[in-house]
Amino acid sequence: NAGVTQTPKFQVLKTGQSMTLQCAQDMNHEYMSWYRQDPGMGLRLIHYSVGAGITDQGEVPNGYNVSRSTTEDFPLRLLSAAPSQTSVYFCASSYGFGTPGQYFGPGTRLLVL
Amino acid sequence: AQSVTQLDSQVPVFEEAPVELRCNYSSSVSVYLFWYVQYPNQGLQLLLKYLSGSTLVKGINGFEAEFNKSQTSFHLRKPSVHISDTAEYFCAVSGSNDYKLSFGAGTTVTVRA
């Protein structure tokens, strides 16, 4: 199993550009989520999904969209990048209750100029 | 909703000395508790988790944590650290019927020879 994979590993954007961060897992996990990590703030939940076709907002959803058309994939879309979205983004997946976010991807470093 | 407070942002420690990382949480419902470790430029790895049962939980790499419901704490300990334990450590909590994780701000452990 590859586990949780994320692409790209690093990206530089200009303010106003859009992009999609990719996340995939091959463990047949129902639950997937996106976090952003900023210094001194830990990880904050952006969006999550409890299964294909079902998504919901987390703590900091503004400026981000998600969709879940398959169990395996959970892309995160930045509609119009802003410097405040400079961060490290982590995708995570798990089987269900009691094991949320148990498997994390390696992260995507995003710099918005 | 749940929240987590990690009481120390930085913990310097000498090699082979013990270390304790403090974590307090707040919640109005039953919780699951987790400790994650993040090595430099890597994703998060689960160290240990408390779901139910024994309040003393043993994890990987010689770490253990104790759940104290009356003090709403979940402190992480290791009796003898190695240089390789230098990393950032995150405490996290979820409701027992909730997928979402709330993270603390993190504690940076620096082990010196």
Residue A39: pLDDT band by 50, 70, 90 thresholds?
confident
- Measured CB to CB, residues of chain A less than 8 Å from chain B are 31, 33, 35, 40-45, 48, 50, 58, 90, 92, 94, 96-102, 104-107
Distance CA B103, CA B23 (A): 10
**pLDDT at site A100:** 59
Q: Show Cβ contacts of residue A35 under 8 Å, excluding neighbours closer than 6 positions.
A: A43, A44, A45, A46, A89, A90, A91, A92, A101, B103
Nearest chain A residue to B37 by CA distance is A104
Quick one: how far is CA B18 from the chain centroid? 15
Residue B2: pLDDT band by 50, 70, 90 thresholds?
confident
Q: Which of A35, A50, A105 sits opposite B99 (nearest CB)?
A: A50
Pick the closest to residue B2 from B106, B99, B107, B108 (CA basis).
B99
Residue B109: pLDDT band by 50, 70, 90 thresholds?
very high
In tens, the pLDDT along B14-28 reads 999 999 999 999 987
Q: What is the 3-state secondary structure (H, E, C) of chain B?
A: CCEEEECCCEEEEECCCCEEECEEEECCCCEEEEEEEECCCCCEEEEEEECCCCCEEECHHHCEEEEECCCCEEEEEECCCCHHHCEEEEEEEEECCCCCCEECCCEEEEEEC
Interface test with A, best of B3, B44, B47, B97 (most A CBs within 10 A): B44
Whether omega for the bond prior to residue A83 falls within 30 degrees of 0, making it cis, is no
Nearest chain B residue to A37 by CA distance is B105
Nearest chain B residue to A43 by CA distance is B103
Average pLDDT, whole number, for chain A? 92
Q: Show Cβ contacts of residue B59 under 8 Å, excluding neighbours closer than 6 positions.
A: B35, B46, B47, B48, B49, B65
In tens, the pLDDT along B32-68 reads 999 999 998 888 999 999 988 889 999 999 999 999 9
User: Which residues is B106 bridged to in the sheet?
Assistant: none
Quick one: how far is CA A104 from the chain centroid? 10
Task: Note whether A106 and A9 are within 8 A (CB).
Answer: yes
Q: Helix, strand, or coil here: A108?
A: strand
B91 or B2, greater pLDDT: B91
- For chain B, the residue count is 113
Distance CA B66, CA B53 (A): 11
**pLDDT at site B81:** 97
Residue B8: count other Cβ atoms within 10 Å of its Cβ. Answer: 14
Instruction: Encode burial over B54-81: b for 16+ CB neighbours within 10 A, e otherwise.
Output: eeebebeeebbbebeeeebbbbbebeeb
